[in-house]
Chains A and B, each alone.
Chain A
Amino acid sequence: MANKSFPRGIHPPDLKEMTVDKALEIMPPPERVIIPLLQHFGQPAESLVQKGEDVYLGQKIGVAKTLFSASVHSSVSGKVLAVDDYSHPAGNPCLAITISNDGQERVVQKEAGKDPFSLTPDEIRLLIKDSGIVGLGGAAFPTAVKLTPPKDKPIDTLIINGCECEPMLTADYRLMLEAPEDILRGAELARIACGAKRIIIGIEDNKREAFQAFKKLSSRFYGPASNSGDFSSRELALLKTKYPQGAEKNLIYALLRRKVPRGGLPFDVGVVVQNVGTVKAVWEAASSGKPLYEKALTVTGNGIKNPKNLVVRIGTPFQKVIDFCGGLNDEAEVLVMGGPMMGIAQWTTEVPVVKGTSGIISWKDQQPQREYACIRCGRCVEHCPMALAPTQLAKYVQFDNLAEAEKWGVLDCVECGCCQYSCPSKIPLVHWIRLGKNRVMSLKRKRSS
């Protein structure tokens, strides 16, 4: 049987060979961490600490006050040096807590918790919220919200996203190889929390070893004893290697042939999607009370002297991570947080690692390519995984025709970059569409207020 997939999309060079065989290495905590209060989709957390205060490892230092927010925790033990605005890898500076590391890794001893599998859905969600867990695939959507389906939308399937379709990134792959049991345990907790009946783990077919790692465990059951007879509720699915196979709506279509309605959420088709790293964090929080204060990421590209897969404390400056990988070489012309398709270009190495940092990549840029007028070849339409017409959208935005842009689905764009990748005229389509999204959204806000 052919491996599952979605229509359209692209096949960029994957360039994973630089780090694919590098086991996750734990990077020693740095002398100083800078922990932004906004590391997720939504509102920033509110600071709980003041300058000069002493904090221990894993202490909650920022609290989520609203639903679409996430708490943040200290990734070292030591003293708070500052609570101030600081450069952020997503672009806008934001309030961040700087902590000097005393190197003692002091934690508060927690009493042995209950068996994680005996927790109720509400308890699991509370634990996730308390541990500051957000989607670690890159979008950093608060996980507790994603596991709270509305009452009228029953969930039948939890999809565990092990696609890692971005080129160059291999950290999720290493997690799947090295900690498949933790992922399965965390997945079971997430399944209980959202009330799904089954789990599907989707893996691209260029990661067959990860698939095998899960396959070996297929006779084992992780979860509450009362449920142990039901093995059929966990499935493994091999997906075609294609970008963006791991994009939520495309992954749901590939695995279940269900289409998430325009402007809707996976809830609307009875699905919840979680990244492998996220469910692993859920398990760690439930089993040992460890909040989300470190992150697996890939440091790679021909601009990095010694590419690696690392587990890094949140708040570690990029420079320290890069130094740990031998530093930058002369090829390093571009520095990006994330993957090469959706990552964000950085202007400085002083920004800290945040929860959404899936990679730090640097390479020698291609020769700047000359931009031509659109020749209407239709390649952007042919490759758009959302079935949009990017060239039309870009034109509507250029001519400030926002009504048409909205009608043609500018808000449906997931910014995956397939259009711009395949454009022979080298038009910055995603750039125009992003601008259009911003304008349409602010227009909508104006209209509603």
Chain B
Amino acid sequence: MAERTFILQSSPHFRDKDSVPRIMYSVLVALAPAFAASLYFFRFRAVALLLSCVIPCLVTEALFLKLRKKPLHHLRDGSAIITGVLLAMTLPPSLPLDSAVIGAVVAIAIGKQVFGGLGYNIFNPALVGRAFLQTAFPVAMTTWIPPVTLKIDIATFATPLASLKFQNALALGTLAPLKNLFWGNIGGCLGETSAFALLLGGLFLLLRRVIDWRIPLGIILSLSIFCGVFWIANPGKYADPLFHLLAGGLLLGALFMATDLVTSPIVPLATWIYALGIGFLVGLIRLFGGYPEGVMYSILIMNAFVPLLNHYIRPRILGERRKK
């Protein structure tokens, strides 16, 4: 018998089927309901914005991979597409498409590739792109159109959070009803309006164990407590926690942005600190900051702490005694 040769490898010899591309594509699947909702509420604008984000993201990624002499198969891991989709979701539907393209290029170039590509970035790339646009085009980034389903004949109007902050909506009683917030029949960024669609996608990710349940739970808990305390103290001035949970980009942020694997901590205790910190910062900015919305900055700020948390918070090893 001819001498046989065997593959030599170190244990374990079994591997789970899940892989980086599979995780990335399941995030895209989870974003489908939210995109469908944006298609329903903003029609053609949704497609246009999506394409002007995803295509530049892929092109920029390819360019950088080429420059960095890295294999192009990384394009197929799905992460650049996610960045593009997430960025589109966070943009006002009326944003000029060329601005969106700039945001997408910045997201991949500055948000991800300069750090070394997938796995090495500190900040959520889509939010880096958005933060850039917020600074570069402040007016376009805060101009809102009503969803086509809301039959009102005005060119621009305010998001629920903006009307709460700037138009004294709570006292006047003109705040959008929770029902509209839940289904998405309100003004806002492309993908953040329908809480229902976001929850559907988030549930899928939680069941598939792609995202850490501690992050959305921690954010929701700390925001509810923070806003709840003020609401109980003065319900005439502050909106209730449920409104804050459903309004703006909170659910999009809590389920899809803060849960980004690369930019969130790896150890459970650190994850709790990170999540609670985001919820607290969102509350702080919304209630006392200059902006009506604070999800983006809160996540970016806590992203900055993640390397620190990963470095200093070590899990307690089995059998380890507490220091006396």
Contacts and interface: CB of A to CB of B under 8 A. Distances in A.
Minimum-distance CB pairs A-B, first 4: A417-B12, A373-B119, A378-B266, A377-B261
Size range of the chain A interface in the assembly: 35 or more
Given A372-B118, A373-B120, A333 B11 contact: no
Q: How large is the interface on B (under 10, 10 to 19, 20 to 34, 35 or more residues)?
A: 35 or more
Contact of B6 (A338, A347, A392): A347
Interface in A250-302: 250, 253, 259-262, 264
A12 B267 CA distance: 23
A123 B227 CA distance: 72
Contacts of B8: 345, 347
A345 B8 CA distance: 6
Most buried by A among B77, B262, B266, B321: B266
A390 B117 CA distance: 22
A116 interface: no
A434 B18 CA distance: 24
A13 B17 CA distance: 11
Contacts of B153: none
Contact of B9 (A334, A409, A416): A334
Contact of A430 (B11, B19, B20, B73): B11
Given A347-B8, A373-B117, A408-B314, 9 more contacts: A13-B14, A260-B318, A260-B319, A342-B11, A378-B212, A378-B267, A415-B11, A417-B11, A420-B15
A346 interface: yes
Contacts of B18: 422, 424
Nearest to A377: B261
Given A373-B117, A381-B266, A421-B14, A334 B6 contact: yes
Contacts of A391: 266
Contacts of B264: 376
A249 interface: yes
B5 to A, nearest CB: 8
Contacts of B118: 372-373, 375
Interface in B240-278: 261-268, 271
A392 B14 contact: no
Interface of B: 4-16, 18-20, 22-23, 73, 77, 116-120, 212, 261-268, 271, 310, 314-321
A425 B319 contact: no
A11 to B, nearest CB: 10
A412 B318 contact: yes
Interface stretch (A188-196, A225-233, A362-370): A362-370
Contacts of B16: 10, 12, 421-424
A334 B12 contact: no
A12 B17 CA distance: 10
A426 B19 contact: yes
A386 interface: yes
Contact of B318 (A349, A385, A420): A385
Given A342-B12, A391-B266, A369 B315 contact: no
Given A347-B6, A389-B315, A392-B310, A377 B14 contact: no
Interface string A220-255: 000000000000000000000000000001100100
A374 interface: yes
B316 A387 contact: yes
Contacts of A430: 10-12
A431 interface: yes
